[in-house]
Amino acid sequence: MSSTLTFLSVIWYQLTFNPKPPPPEIKAEGETAIVTGSNVGLGFEAAKQLASRGLARLILAVRDISKGEVAKAAISRENPKCQIEVWQLDQDSWDSMSAFARKAQSLDRLDILLLNAGMKRLEYTRSPAGHETHIQVNHLSTALLSLLLLAPLRKTAAITGKPSRMTITASILAFIAAVDGITHPKAEIIPTLDDPVSFKPGVDRYCLSKLLNILWTRELAKHVDAKELVINMCNPGWCMSEFHREDPGAAAAGKYLGWSSEQGAHLLVDAALQHPESHGEYLSEQRVRSVSGFVLSAQGQVAQKRIWDETLALLREVVGQDHPIIRSDRLFL
């Protein structure tokens, strides 16, 4: 899919598609959900909508506990029967993510995981965790959490007799990303992207980080049985929220094209609760959609496997080769 066609398709569905909440009979009665990045914007709205579906327990995974408590109070007012907890999660910190995952292992059940936290900047910055910030927060941290939280999701599936659900927030902008940084046959991908020389000011690195989300999710789904866990990714559309605070151009255009965060959250909740056939699939406009030609190409498949191998090797170094969740013989079927 060319960048021109992608941009035109964005304009088309933003102007013509009306996101709607899943049918009222779609419930999550008695279930437990984790939503990352859930104190504002899409994450907050998705958490609130999930709570309204009958959740027994909702965990707001946030960087700032005080802001999480404000979000908790707002959701609790509308959903007093839902037990809401605020857990600290900093995706710029390996220690924070490991501590969060250890805490999650103690849950009696985990039915829904919405990995929504992300960021966008127009200039190069380096995360305290050591990598270019988009690569750290949007890709590496999301990948680590997707692995560390497999165990409680699988445990719940064994108890309930139905698949648990993992949804990763994606973006159609992934399909306009420049792929030269991930297709060079002789250069490691992550060190290349960490190099400031590789960074072009603007949105391209954000777009590329969302492409990495898609490639990672597609590969992860190959290693997980859909009878235990349905893993998908969702494009929530162009929504007006604090997410665009460092991109004034997107914020300005969003006044004409953007949906509300509530509308975008309809798509995330739809992906998390419906589409049982969507394992490893990309959802947009509340339906399964095809990914780009690059993702499906032989070159894309090579890049997907390389990103998987590099990311897994890096994460094993971070948490330790003997970590019971990361070791390959314990991770997959």
The rounded distance, in Å, linking the Cα atoms of 266 and 262 is 6
Pairing of strands 287-289, 282-284: antiparallel
Backbone angles phi, psi at 166, to 5 degrees: -130, 125
Beta carbons within 8 Å of 270's beta carbon, 6+ residues apart: 21, 22, 234, 283, 286
Contact predicate 171/242, CB 8 Å: no
* Residue 194 to residues 138, 205, 212, Cα–Cα distance (Å): 13, 11, 14
Q: Does 210 participate in catalysis according to the annotation?
A: yes
Side chain identity at residue 131, one-letter code? H
Among 93, 164, 171, 284, which one carries the catalytic annotation? 171
Side chain identity at residue 270, one-letter code? D
The residue ranges of every structural domain in the chain are 3-308
Contact predicate 41/239, CB 8 Å: yes
Contact predicate 68/38, CB 8 Å: yes
CATH number corresponding to 3-308: 3.40.50.720
* Residue 189 to residues 19, 226, 315, Cα–Cα distance (Å): 36, 29, 14
Burial of 24 (0-12, 13-18, 19+ CB in 10 A): exposed
Report how many helices (DSSP H) and strands (DSSP E) the chain contains, helices first. Answer: 15, 8
Among 164, 206, 241, 284, which one carries the catalytic annotation? 206
Q: Of 211, 231, 210, nearest to 220 (Cα)?
A: 231
Contact predicate 104/147, CB 8 Å: no
Instruction: Output DSSP code: residue 279.
Output: T
The rounded distance, in Å, linking the Cα atoms of 148 and 240 is 31
Residue 117 token pair: 């936290």
* Residue ranges of E strands in the chain: 32-36, 57-62, 83-88, 112-115, 164-169, 229-235, 282-284, 287-289
Q: What is the pLDDT of residue 242?
A: 76
| pLDDT tens sequence for the chain (333 residues) | 555 667 788 888 889 999 999 999 999 999 999 999 999 999 999 999 999 999 999 999 999 999 999 999 999 999 999 999 999 999 999 999 999 999 999 999 999 999 999 999 999 999 999 999 999 999 999 999 999 999 999 999 999 999 999 999 999 999 999 999 999 988 999 999 999 999 999 999 999 999 999 999 999 999 999 999 999 999 999 898 777 777 787 778 778 888 999 999 999 999 999 999 999 999 999 999 999 999 999 999 999 999 999 999 999 998 875 565 555 544 543
Q: pTM value?
A: 0.94
Q: Cβ–Cβ contacts within 10 Å for residue 105, how many?
A: 14
Among 209, 210, 284, 292, which one carries the catalytic annotation? 210
The rounded distance, in Å, linking the Cα atoms of 46 and 270 is 10
Q: Does 282 participate in catalysis according to the annotation?
A: no
Q: Does 13 participate in catalysis according to the annotation?
A: no
The rounded distance, in Å, linking the Cα atoms of 27 and 33 is 12
Place of tokens 């191998």: 309
The rounded distance, in Å, linking the Cα atoms of 194 and 182 is 12
Q: Cβ–Cβ contacts within 10 Å for residue 321, how many?
A: 10
Contact predicate 333/223, CB 8 Å: yes
